[in-house]
Structure 1
Amino acid sequence: MIITELANVFFAVMDLIFGIPPLSTADPCTRKNTETNYKEFLHRHVLQTDFDRNSVPAWESYLKYEKLWCRTSTQSFMDKNQNVEDVCASGLRVENGGNLCISPSQMRVYDVITMKSNDGCSIQVTPRQTRVIVACDRVVNRCLPVHYERYVKQKATAVPCPPQNS
């Protein structure tokens, strides 16, 4: 009970002083974010170069070159030509998801699982067709993705992602 009250006070202060509402209540495209967050999202989740997506050595080279090798246990990537930005423009809001939006249709996502051992890291790549969920914030007056959230059967609402006045 006390922890909940302290959290509420903390978020109220953050909102009052910095204009940062808690993620769980911020609507899509209303929170201001930096271009750095958007660029980091692109770097971590959107494949920027062409390589053989079926080749583990090609994935290893890409991840090492982009300094993403062994970064976390699971990383998810989408091809650049899928225009993941469109999720913020034409997606639907996620039920009880704050600023999360869900793609109206499935997209190809590559899940890269990293296994660490004493010898270093190895990876397994699994492509799948799935809906994509991203957190959408206002970045330089555009509604853009700043965070990827794995789809695990979250429900879409009937409410469009971008507010009607954005």
Structure 2
Amino acid sequence: MAGLAPPVLLQRLSLSTTCCVLLLLMLASHPALAKTDAPCQRSKWNNGFSTFVRRHLLPGTPNTENKNAWFKFIKDNTGCGRPTQSFLPSDDLDRVKAVCSSQGGKVYKDNLCISRKPFTFFTVRSEKDTCGIKSVKEETKYLILACENVDNQCVPVHFEGNPTDAKPDNNARACQDPDKAGASAIGMTTWLLWLLTSVIMVLIVNAH
């Protein structure tokens, strides 16, 4: 670039810098790399699945709408920091995990999958801090779960409410398996890096 006049040199450097910044922003903003807005992407929360199980699939969950039984259970186990809590039978663990697979779930939106079959669970509403039970309701609905890749497994990390009693869309694609999601993310990363390298090489060639 020794033969270039200073204004031309600055212009090309500015163009190179701008292209690099734009491509880096593309890398940072791509959903497979920056945030989990599709099911089964790599989770930023390593304890997401274990926390999900502790909150929603505890052994000894009362199989009743009796408020006294739930008061004792919540007081002794999950606490009342969350005013609304939903509990599934611990025996349903494998079925619940399957919602985050192609066999058990369909894509709902973002990183959420909806179960192919309905589940029965209890929704408990309580007073914050005091654990006073406001209501206990046994419900049968399709589960909506946030599904993320933890330790190379696509598993639920969040229980999303289903107040509108949504059902799976027959035309929606299956909830992705982790290997497919991973392959998709790797493929897009490779393509963007190739694009960035190509643009930089073109700018270098044109500078000489």
- Which entry has the higher C-alpha Rg, 1 or 2? 2
| Count of aligned pairs | 147
State the shift of 1:30 in Å. Answer: 1.8
1:47 & 1:103 partners in 2: Cα distance?
20
SS in structure 1 at match of 2:96: coil
2:90 & 2:121 partners in 1: Cα distance?
11
Q: Which amino acid is 2:35 matched to?
A: P
What are the superposed Cα offsets for residues 90-129 of structure 1, whole Å, 9 maximum, x if unpaired?
A: 20000xx211000111101211011359xx3411211110
Higher share of residues assigned strand:
1
Structure 1 equivalent of residue 194 of structure 2? none
Q: 1:74 touches 1:112 (CA, 8 Å); kept in 2? A: yes
SS in structure 2 at match of 1:103: strand
Structure 2 equivalent of residue 165 of structure 1? 180
Structure 1 equivalent of residue 90 of structure 2? 80
1:133 & 1:75 partners in 2: Cα distance?
14
SS in structure 2 at match of 1:106: strand
Structure 1 equivalent of residue 149 of structure 2? 138
1:48 and 1:33, CA in 2 relative to 1: closer, same or farther beyond 3 A?
farther
Q: Which amino acid is 2:72 matched to?
A: S
Q: 2:115 touches 2:142 (CA, 8 Å); kept in 1? A: yes
What are the superposed Cα offsets for residues 16-54 of structure 1, whole Å, 9 maximum, x if unpaired?
A: 7xx85234xx22112234441111111111232254433
The reply to whether residue 21 of structure 1 matches residue 34 of structure 2 is yes
TM-score (norm 1): 0.75
2:138 & 2:27 partners in 1: Cα distance?
39
Structure 1 equivalent of residue 73 of structure 2? 62
TM-score (norm 2): 0.61
The reply to whether residue 93 of structure 1 matches residue 107 of structure 2 is yes
Q: Which amino acid is 2:115 matched to?
A: S
After TM superposition, the structure 1 = structure 2 runs for residues 2-21 of structure 1, keeping only pairs within 5 Å, are 15=28, 21=34
Q: 1:78 touches 1:109 (CA, 8 Å); kept in 2? A: yes
Q: Which amino acid is 1:54 matched to?
A: E
Q: Percent identity?
A: 29
2:155 & 2:34 partners in 1: Cα distance?
17
1:48 & 1:35 partners in 2: Cα distance?
22
1:73 & 1:13 partners in 2: Cα distance?
39
Q: Which amino acid is 1:100 matched to?
A: L
Structure 1 equivalent of residue 126 of structure 2? 114
1:105 and 1:14, CA in 2 relative to 1: closer, same or farther beyond 3 A?
same
1:86 & 1:107 partners in 2: Cα distance?
12
Q: 2:65 touches 2:137 (CA, 8 Å); kept in 1? A: no
CA root-mean-square deviation: 2.7
The reply to whether residue 147 of structure 1 matches residue 162 of structure 2 is no
State the shift of 1:15 in Å. Answer: 3.8
1:13 & 1:60 partners in 2: Cα distance?
49
